Chain A
């Protein structure tokens, strides 16, 4: 089954404790991205990657890092989480131009 898998689905952590949210896709997609969803703001892009070892900032990259060492994986790293990073996070992948993006189920992160 074609899918984008995120882990964990739910996470509560404390300020400053490094964490990683994993994202994996099994569709051989070149393009992957991370979004955060906040009430009244819709989805905002954090980072994206157009291929292995090619990543770039989206609209709200501050406080986040990503890596793309393999085509299928695109982890999101919070080196020192803060409460303003409490949000619902989505990973997405696609082939590229004109094609639909497939989304993961989301990771609800709470930073206390």
Chain B
């Protein structure tokens, strides 16, 4: 069945450090790919998305590229800020049947000044 594997957390970085959170997935067909972010005490918000191979999603300095050959969608940011501290979820959306989103376990990021 469909599944997603995310980098284990928690991740602690100093401000202005480079961030990578790995995400790989298995899915039937050709899913759309999303990254969601959950700030403390809040619901999930869309961070970025990509719907076809080689698409790059970007938002707020974060980027992720749809890599069909490696079934991956790694999240990157060149210079993190304290305000980026949150939990990040990789979420493919299958394109067959129920068209469900399925989530990884989430990666908690803490950025220290």
Interface residues of chain A, those whose CB is within 8 Å of chain B, are 4, 31, 33, 35, 40-45, 48, 50, 56, 58, 90, 92, 96-98, 100-101, 103-106
Contact = CB atoms under 8 A, between A and B. Distances in A.
Interface residues of B, number: 22
Instruction: State the majority secondary structure of interface residues on B.
Output: loop
Contacts of B101: 33, 45, 92, 101
Contacts, number: 55
A43 B43 contact: no
A97 B99 contact: yes
A40 B87 CA distance: 12
Contact of A100 (B46, B89, B100): B46
25 contacts: A31-B99, A33-B100, A33-B101, A40-B105, A42-B103, A42-B104, A42-B105, A42-B106, A43-B44, A43-B89, A43-B106, A44-B103, A45-B101, A48-B100, A58-B100, A92-B44, A96-B99, A97-B93, A97-B95, A97-B99, A98-B51, A100-B46, A101-B44, A103-B43, A104-B43
